[in-house]
Amino acid sequence: MSDCLFCKILADEIPSDRVYEDEQMIVFKDINPKAEVHLLAIPREHIVSLTELEPQHDALLGHMLRQLPKIARQQGLDEGFRTIINTGEGGGQIVFHLHIHLMGGRNMPGFE
């Protein structure tokens, strides 16, 4: 997607502070963090949101979810972390490329 912010990050057209990458996904620091540690995990494949998932994406999502605890530990989040997937405009999704927020550390925002 030529106008997708995250696709541009994947193509190195926009810089990012990557903390992990493999053949299926990348993880980078959020430029507007809401917690001490705030990372975004995105698939290399452009998938708009959870509503666009098909059975062929099962292995990809499983892979991403299995990597997140490892990445959290590498970031010092030994006490726990939060994962969030905003889906659709009504769910707070701003960039329409599936992404998982990984957040943790001191001053963790609550749900009010």
Q: Which residues are catalytic?
A: 99
Chain-centroid distance, C-alpha 35: 14
Question: DSSP string covering 64-96, please?
Answer: HHHHHHHHHHHTT-TT--EEE---SGGGT--SS
The CA-atom distances, in angstroms, between 50 and each of 18, 34, 57 are 23, 22, 10
In 3-state terms, what secondary structure has residue 27?
strand
